[in-house]
Structure formats: C-alpha cells, structure tokens
Structure 1
Amino acid sequence: MHARRHAVIRSERRGNRTIGLAVALVVGGALAAGGVVLTGNNPTPTASSTQAPAPAQAAVGGAPEQPAGPPDCTGMVSGMDDRQKLAQRLMVGVDAADPAGAAAIVRDSQVGGIFIGGNDTALLRDDNLADVQKAADVPVAVGVDDEGGRVQRIDDLVGDLPSARAMAKKTPEQVTELARDRAQKLRDVGITWNLAPDVDVSDQPSNDVIGDRSFSDDPATVTKYALAWAEGQEQGGVYGMLKHFPGHGRSSGDSHKGEVSVPSLAELEKTDLKPYESLVGPGNPLDGRTGVMVGHLDVPGLTTDVPSSLEPATYQLLRTKYRFDGLVMTDDLGAMKAITDRFGLAASTTKALSAGADVALFSNVTQVSPLLDAAQKALDDGTIDRAGNDTAVARVLAAKGLCRR
C-alpha cells in the first residue's frame, strides 16, 4: 500500500523577498488527488483535498491522462535566493526537550533539516513536530540516529530495537520487516530521515566505537543486511543514509574524542568499501534510493591535512569510482573532536560544503546565522561553486521528496 503525497503551493512575501515554491510534500508512494494550499504557515485544505478525485480525462488517442508527479528540482532551486539555498544545506541540532525552541530555530534560519539527538521525547509527542514544519517555508528534513542497540532514539516511545550485529542473526526478510515497522513508527512521530544503516565492516568488540553497530566483519554479509534494512526503511516511508564512508569499522579510535585513522585507501577498497561498490551507483539495488554519510577519518592515500569529511578527494571518490549521484552528508561537525579540535564551526561548514558535501550536519544546538554568513562569503568569493551549490540543493530537495532530479 502506498502512503499519501500532497501537492503544496507556498507563495508569500517575507520582508523584501517573495517566496513562491511549488512543493510536493511526500510522505511516501503515490500522489494524492487533492492538495493543500499554505497561506503563511497555516495549511488550509483545498476543495479537491476533501472530495473524491474526478475521473481521469482522456488524453489524445484515448489513453487516460496520468496525474502529475512532483515538480522538477531546477525550478524550485532557481526560485530561491542564495541564503535560502545555503540554508537547505544545513541540518542542525535541536533540543528535544524544547519544542518551542526547535520551531524558533527553523523559523529564524529556515534550515533544510533538524537533527534530534539524545533520548528526550517531548519534541516527538503531542504533534510538536507539526509546529516545527509550520515554521518552515520549505518542509524540513527531521533526522535521527536510530540504528538499534546502543544507538536508538524512540525506544522510550515504541520499544527496543536490536543492534545491527544481533539483527544479522535473523534472516534478511526479518530485518526488512523490522526496518519497515521501525520506519513507520518514526514517520508516525514526524521523523523523515534516519541516519542508518551503518555499513561499516567491523570485528571490533561490541562496545567499541563501531562494534555491534556493524552487521558483520564480512563485506558480503554487511551488504546483504544493509540492503534488507534499507529496503524496509524505504517501504516505511523514511529516507536512509549509509555510513560512514569510506569505512569506520577498523578505526584507531572514536571521532567523538579526537582524530581517527583507518587503513589505507588501497586496504579499504579490498573490504570496507565493498558494500558501497555493491549497493550504490547505476545498476546497483540502492541507486537513487539512499544517501551516504562521510566520516571524519584520516585515510592514507586519500586524505592529507584534513579528515575525509572535509577532503574533496573523498567526494570525488564517491562520485566517480562509485558513481553515486545522490545526497551526501557529513558526520556531525559540531560535537566531534576530530573536527572541533582543529576547526571552528563556521570554518568546518564552508570546508565541508566546498569539498563536496551536500549537507553539513551539526548534532548540537548552535547559532545558525554565523554558519550561513560564512557560507555566503564562501559562495561570493568562489570557494563554494555556484553551479555545485545548485546541484547540492537539488539533491537535498529531492531527498526530501519535494521534487525530482
């Protein structure tokens, strides 16, 4: 059964700028017959949204006319100014204990996404995320880490989810069903992106930085179970993210605590990068259906003065060798010492966006204006490429289901 999709038109005046974006607000599957017109931030059903659809009109030649799909991303992107575009490329942390504060962050900054960390569930109750969405000119991606085991966010609401390593003892079909059920529960509380599954190949002890977050130390097993999870998650209406490219499973430490090194790129290509080789890119099962998260890793043969998340060669590798054309985001730039010990928040933002990340992720609550100011300066001086910026924004909007590329 397909979930519903609503056509949304927003046109309003804010200060000296006019926002006019045709938006298909996706909850998953097929396009609904009716729409919703947003006036200001208050959704009002149109007549067609409360009536049964009219019979399809016959097109030339007698074939029924097909309903329109989501709009092309090019038109949506061209309707945005620089600040709006750059804001779409940020996912920032909000305090789940402060729903009003989360709405204020979105209202003031118009960021493309918010990240909910920790285990407080106030923001996920009483339809509070709907108020966050009402504060947005463009629907916001609401992201969490909900992998299972040590890394889960809604267990207090809906129950526990086993770790990846525990799930790999089940059949792939059982994992797909687990993922579908979990995604539906995430969607029910307003979450749209889950930064999972972890496709790291690892034999670390269970409680190590990756450990039982990995399905297996065998690339083929990781690939099989990551695919099972990703397919179920998609069926449940949530956008997923493979992580941590190019491979965190054999890391020397935890990037939350400091710099982390992994084996050389040549070694990673033999093992850690096999799931990406098999899952993403043209002809592979998750092509066009998932995002990828880049880790903060020092990789001999790939990185030099900066970790992989800020290194242009990392994104070139993913785009060229693995032919991935979907959304790429960084791991957390705001609370990991592998980044914060070396760069300020604004500097890491511009470095990530100019290196090739589509989205810069910050798990902690931070001031958004300085990030946007720095990104605007980088866009103006050519550090962030304008054509590349437009492409990145299109990827973000498409990953939200608002348009097609």
Structure 2
Amino acid sequence: MRTSRCAALLAAAAVVLPLAGCDTGGSGGATSGTSAAPTPSPWIAGYLRDMSLREKVGQLFVPAFSTPAAARAMVRRYDVGGLIYFPRNMKSPAATAALSNDLQKAARTPLLLSVDEEQGIVSRAPFLTDFPGNMALGAGRSTTNAREAARVTASELRAVGINQNYAPDADVNINPANPVIGVRSFGADPKAVASLVGASVAGYQDAGVAATAKHFPGHGDTNVDSHTGLPVIRHSTTQWNRIDAPPFRAAIGAGVDAIMSAHIVVPRLDRSGKPSTLSSGVLTGMLRGRLGFQGVIITDSLLMAGVREKYGDASVPVRAIQAGADQLLMPPSLPKAFDAVLKAVQKGTISRKRLDESVTRILRLKERRGLFKGLTADPRKAQAAMRTAAHRRVATTVAEHSITLVRNDGGTLPLRRRAAFVTGPGSGPLRTALRAQGVRVVGSARMADVTVVTVFNGRPVIPGGKPAVVVALARPYALNDAGRAKAAVAAYSASGVSVKAVARVLSGKLGPTGKLPVKAAGKPIGHGLTYAAPSSP
C-alpha cells in the first residue's frame, strides 16, 4: 500500500484529524455507526488528488478471479478496487487468510475483498458456521437472532481477510413463483423484512464487514430470473413505497455501507425501459435522491443476462457509472470494461467530477472498515475462528425458532411412540436425525403409523393409506400442494442445523414456535401452531 503517500498526507492533516487513516489509524472499522454519508476525512481528498486516472478507474471494478496469480495480475495491472471470492478461491480458512494478506500486500490501495455469503441457499465459503438463511430468520421474527447470525458470519469472514459481504437480501418476496429470490428473502411483510434487514446490517458491520443490501429497487415480485432474462416489475410508486422501499430505508437507517442494484425494469417508476443498474432515474433519482443514500452503489454481476440482453459488454459499465453506480461487479472482460470506462472519462462521456465522486465514496467505505490500518488476517488462527461452539449455538437457536407447524389435523404430531416411514428428496438426513431423537423409523409405509414426506420446491408425493406429514425443506410454498397431508411443517432450509431442528419438533422434544413469513398452504402471514414439549428430555 502507499505508506509514503499516506505518511505525507497524515502529516499535512494531523492538525485537524490526527491518525485519520492509512496504516496508522482509521475511523471505526469495527462498528456499524449510523453515518452512511459522513464528511470525508481531509486526507481522502489529498489521497484522491495523488491518484492517477488509471488508478481511479481501477477502483470502480470488482472482478472474479480463477487463481491467486490471476488475481495478483489484475491488482497490479488495473489497481482494482476489490475482488470477489468464490468457493474455488477458498480452499481452507488458513489458505484463504494467507491469500487475502497476499492480495492486500500486492495492492497500492487496500482492497475490498468480498463474497456473496447470504447463508442458506446462497453460501460460498465452505468452512463457515452453517445457518438456515433469511426466510428461517423471518419465521423466527427475532431481530436479536438476525443481528447475531450476521455478526457470527461476519466475524468468520473477517478472520480470513474478507471485509465485504453482499448481504443481506432486502427483497420482499410477494411472488411465490419468484425463481431467484424465494427463501433468500426474510418474507413478504415489508415491515418485518425491514426490521430484520436493519438488524442484519448492524450485525455485519458490528464485526467490521461492510454490508450490502440488495437488490434495489426490489426483486421480490417477479417470475423471471435476472441471471437468465430481464424481469419486468410493474409496481406503481405507491406500491413501491409500501412494499419494496421499507427494507432499503431500514438498511440506510442502520448505516449500510453499500447497496446493490437489480437487473430489472420498473416501467412505472422509470420510463426509460433500462435495467435499474443502468437507470439514472432509479440509482440517482430514487436511491440517492428519494432515499438519500450516500454510500457505495455496486451493480449486481455484469455477467448476468438481465443487464447484457440489450447492451454490449463495453457499453454496460459506462452506462452503469453514468446512471450512478460506483462499483462494477464481475465484468465479463475486465480489460474491455476498464478500457471502455477509461476512454469514456478521457472523452468526457463520464466527467472527472463524476469519477471522483465514486472513488471518494469507495475510499470512504474502506476507511470506515479500517482497511487503511494495514489490518491482516492470521492464517494460524483462522481455523479456530470457524464453527466455534458459541457460533453453532447461535445457528441452532435460529433454526429451532424457525420451524413452523402449519397444519396438525387430529394431533398427528408429535410422533411420540409411533413408527415413521420417511421418504422424499433429501430425506436421508432427516431419517438419521429422527432416529437420534428416539423416533422409530421403519423401512416401508406398510410398517409405519405415519409417513413423513420431504419436499424442496416441487409437489410433494404423498402416498395413500397412512396419515402423512409433509416437511418443506426449502420454499414453504410447496405446502400449497400438501392438501392431502394431515400435518404440514415449514423448515425453510435443508441445512444440517435445520434438519436437526425439524427432527426435534417432529419427535416432540421441541415445541414449534415459528410463524409463516409468507402466505402458504392457505394460511396467512403470521400463522403458526404449536404444542407443548416435555419439561425434560
């Protein structure tokens, strides 16, 4: 990093801001705060003036990488502002921590090392404590649990040198057919989603990791996946204010460092017909103007079809910056995208002032997260920071609070002293977990008193003859097709911690307390039955 440059700037600024940044200080890298738009530290203006045009343009990019050598080459040639990690880049906690340190050492300006770690079905780091995901938190309705889950995840990410997470998902999932959000959302109630988003932002940033609320202006009411097509959401301004905006307002109120744009068209909010990522009406008019967000706006992946259908790969990054984005995630070709933005600035298509605004916001975020302090990860301690007993207890609490008993005709549950045949996709772990809870699991429906049927996202296959219990291990909407079952349970997740919680509920060792965060099985949001668990195991 630029230690000599930092030292000179600090000396000049010391009268007004002692230890304002660089390798000898910083501004609260480990706290969330409430300032999405703080006054830039005096040293940042000097740092910006000392950057070349190429260095400034490089700060706008967050590419993926295949190998450490490829990452170092991008850092050195393009001065990228950050890099995104995927499982291929995270072989072990120690190796990831060492890689993070190596990349930071190669960078002239500290890097935002990011990951898309929502937990649940979007989980990239294979060594983290396993959590069920957002909709399970929505069923548990606890802001304390949401904040703690985010804090645990962030502390483990920080231990391997990752300092930005593309979470939480702030979409309000009101469309059961939504193919891309679903259980990634906290639910369908805007007020409840907003409270959990705010808590999650605080949890991530309490642990020193930049949170990123997504996908603005709201991706919860579509039946098209923006990875493969361009969704159109026809919410009016009134609907948007009531449904989609509250979670983003909550994130901003919690001091969220960044917000990610969605590759969706919102014709009743913006008449341009452009994807929101490329729309100044959405990014500058709505997010900056109407909601007052002054932090970093990052695009969703530029590899996705939703932003590539109409415009070429050289045009998209230029249009995104013109629209108000600050960082460009995963350009299909970094050389092509970099050259396009550089030429646009040189020609005045993107003004120098506009470029400096984005780079200032990026530097300010890096300062808030303590990146100019020269912080490093400790590869020797990284493994010990993962999946600690305390962290696993938080995950267990989240899972156990989420299990929702949606229907229980005739007291079919719990399964005390009754034989159960367990079938369906992914049912093996549930069979094992039920046996561990003392349930007699048998090999055929003919031998059973009750059939337990697992389902992910399709229709449950319910055999006749015996009372059936349907357990939704993913989207609770699958219970809409469970009408023949005597009992229905929503778990929102097939993670190991959720399956164990389901087994405890089915066995009667744990009384269900979750409430539906979406409409399902003909029941409203907030519905959930219970029964008493025994006072002792």
Q: Give me the TM-score of the superposition, normalised by structure 1.
A: 0.78
Structure 1: distance between partners of 2:169 and 2:102? 31
Q: Which residue of 2 aligns with 1:330?
A: 299
Structure 2: distance between partners of 1:249 and 1:119? 29
- Deviation of residue 319 (structure 1)? 1.0
2:245 equivalent to 1:273 = yes
Structure 2: distance between partners of 1:222 and 1:206? 19
2:3 corresponds to which letter in structure 1? Answer: R
2:286 equivalent to 1:293 = no
Count of matched residue positions in the alignment of Structure 1 and Structure 2: 344
2:370 equivalent to 1:371 = no
- Deviation of residue 312 (structure 1)? 0.8
2:318 equivalent to 1:350 = yes
Structure 1: distance between partners of 2:288 and 2:306? 24
Alignment of 1:46-195 (within 5 A): 72-95=43-66, 98-118=67-87, 121-122=90-91, 125-126=94-95, 127-154=98-125, 156-170=126-140, 171-195=142-166
1:274 corresponds to which letter in structure 2? Answer: P
Q: Which residue of 1 aligns with 2:356?
A: 390
Checking the alignment, whether the CA contact within 8 Å between 1:24 and 1:70 is kept in structure 2 is no
Q: Which residue of 2 aligns with 1:10?
A: 3
Checking the alignment, whether the CA contact within 8 Å between 1:327 and 1:396 is kept in structure 2 is yes
Per-residue CA distance 1:23-72 (angstroms, 9 max, x = gap): 525898379xxxxxxxxxxxxxxxxxxxxxxxxxxxxxxxxxxxxx9653
Checking the alignment, whether the CA contact within 8 Å between 2:219 and 2:264 is kept in structure 1 is yes
Residue 30 to residue 104, structure 1, CA distance change in 2 (3 Å): closer
Q: Which residue of 2 aligns with 1:46?
A: none
Aligned residue for 2:222, secondary structure, equals coil
Per-residue CA distance 1:336-359 (angstroms, 9 max, x = gap): 111223222221111101111011
Structure 2: distance between partners of 1:206 and 1:72? 50
For the pair shown, the structure with the greater C-alpha radius of gyration is: 2
Residue 30 to residue 84, structure 1, CA distance change in 2 (3 Å): closer
Alignment of 1:227-246 (within 5 A): 227-246=198-217
Q: Which residue of 2 aligns with 1:16?
A: none
Structure 2: distance between partners of 1:71 and 1:103? 30
Q: Which residue of 2 aligns with 1:40?
A: none
- Deviation of residue 134 (structure 1)? 1.2
Structure 2: distance between partners of 1:101 and 1:30? 28
Residue 254 to residue 20, structure 1, CA distance change in 2 (3 Å): farther
Checking the alignment, whether the CA contact within 8 Å between 1:197 and 1:242 is kept in structure 2 is yes
Structure 2: distance between partners of 1:398 and 1:245? 21
Residue 402 to residue 222, structure 1, CA distance change in 2 (3 Å): closer
**Structure 1 gap segments, 5+ residues each:** 1-7, 13-18, 32-68
Q: Give me the TM-score of the superposition, normalised by structure 2.
A: 0.60
Structure 2: distance between partners of 1:323 and 1:265? 20
- Deviation of residue 11 (structure 1)? 3.5
Structure 1: distance between partners of 2:224 and 2:103? 36
**Structure 2 gap segments, 5+ residues each:** 11-20, 31-39, 371-537
- Deviation of residue 208 (structure 1)? 2.8
Q: Percent identity?
A: 33
Aligned residue for 1:134, secondary structure, equals helix
Residue 323 to residue 29, structure 1, CA distance change in 2 (3 Å): closer
Per-residue CA distance 1:73-124 (angstroms, 9 max, x = gap): 21111111111111101111112xx222222221221100111234652386
1:149 corresponds to which letter in structure 2? Answer: G
Residue 9 to residue 376, structure 1, CA distance change in 2 (3 Å): closer
Structure 2: distance between partners of 1:211 and 1:374? 36
RMSD value, Cα: 2.7
Residue 94 to residue 224, structure 1, CA distance change in 2 (3 Å): same
**Higher relative helix content:** 2
Q: Which residue of 2 aligns with 1:29?
A: 28
Q: Which residue of 2 aligns with 1:218?
A: 189
Checking the alignment, whether the CA contact within 8 Å between 1:397 and 1:403 is kept in structure 2 is no
Structure 1: distance between partners of 2:301 and 2:352? 24
Checking the alignment, whether the CA contact within 8 Å between 2:279 and 2:323 is kept in structure 1 is yes
Q: Which residue of 1 aligns with 2:16?
A: none
List, as ranges, runs of 4+ consecutive aligned residues in structure 1 with deviation greater than 3 Å: 19-23, 25-31, 69-72, 203-207
